[in-house]
Homo-oligomer: A and B are copies of this chain.
Amino acid sequence: MILHLNKLVNTDILNEIKKKYDAFHFSENEIEVVITSSSVKEVDTKFEKFVKEKFLFDSDIQLASLNYKQKREINIGGKIIGGNTNNCIIITGPCSVESEQQIEKVSKFISRLNIHTLRGGCYKPRTSPYTFQGMELDGLKLLKNAKNKYGFSIITEVRDSTHVNDVIEHADIIQIGAKAMYDHGILKACAKTKKTVMIKRGFGTTLQEFVQAAEFILSGGNPNVILCERGIRTFETKTRFTLDLCGVAYLKHHTNLPIIIDPSHALGYAYGIEDLSKACIAMGVDGLIIETHPNPSVAKSDAKQQLNFEQFEKLHKSISNIANAIGVNII
């Protein structure tokens, strides 16, 4: 249950309500927003006079529900996605930040294509200890330099809560990776900032759990949450994962959060990334995040799925063409 209380509600009353219902609370505009478990269906009569509006839900998808509010607008470095913008943000860059030269090459390339948002992993959540684990803080600094030089927004992944504050400090969009999205330490830290957070769906995660991860952040008072579908793990092994566009259709029709899609991790091979990107654009998603590398064959991670510049440029033209046809603005 979400309650909108009058701004003038007395602090003691507010605390009493929070305590009684074990509730979350934040202030937004002229409203005190109180959120209880969805199993709470009624508010005590003595509190009723403070309630301006009340929202009931079948499940703990509450603040993220389209029944609560219309699709949210999210500001990314001065560019807006979501709401009624019809904007689609293109995010690209290498799987891992590997060197200054690599980031410079990618930056120059995407800058030429008028792309404003650079990705690059610094803390890599590898499943083996015996592989490249990322440049960590040094990588963050390389991204920061690119941001300063080219005016990019930068997005990078937080792997665990030991370095979440470093990522919050340096990134414009904090990416919570598929393997970290249940991590309360990360979710709670992201709930306390106002920076934009992109949560990737775990490959074994239901849509219900995925949106509930967003509720951890929203209920702390940070409204700037984006969902990212990147493929789920199924029985099929010819492809790395299975991109769940049925799930994206569900999210579009039931939640108020913008949705970005990562076809690179889903397919795991460069050959079909353009096809999948065209599909996503046509479907009306709010963004794409695609891996590009100056020379994928020598990449320190995800070598098979990263596009070279020629492949990416071809993809970029294709999706721009479709975007034009359906009134979507590529940003």
Q: Give me the interface of A with B, judged by CB distance under 8 Å.
A: 22, 24, 35-38, 60, 62, 123, 125, 127-131, 133, 159-162, 179-180, 182-186, 202-209, 212-213, 215-216, 219, 231-250, 252-253, 266-267, 271-272, 275-276, 278-284, 321-322, 324-326
Contact = CB atoms under 8 A, between A and B. Distances in A.
Contact of A159 (B131, B184, B246): B184
Nearest to A219: B129
A213 B126 CA distance: 10
Closest 4 CB pairs of A and B: A204-B204, A249-B272, A325-B325, A282-B282
Given A161-B160, A202-B204, A243 B246 contact: yes
B237 A234 contact: no
6 contacts: A37-B130, A37-B131, A123-B184, A160-B184, A161-B162, A162-B185
A230 to B, nearest CB: 11
A244 to B, nearest CB: 5
A284 B275 CA distance: 8
Nearest to A185: B160
Contacts of A284: 275, 278
A15 to B, nearest CB: 18
A283 B232 CA distance: 20
A276 B246 contact: yes
B245 A215 contact: no
Nearest to A323: B325
A130 B35 contact: yes
A159 to B, nearest CB: 6
A79 B37 CA distance: 43
A219 to B, nearest CB: 5
Given A203-B204, A216-B129, A276-B246, A232 B237 contact: no
Nearest to A327: B321
Contacts of A125: 182, 184
A215 B219 CA distance: 37
Nearest to A282: B282
Contacts of A232: 204, 234-236, 242
B238 A267 contact: no
B231 A233 contact: no
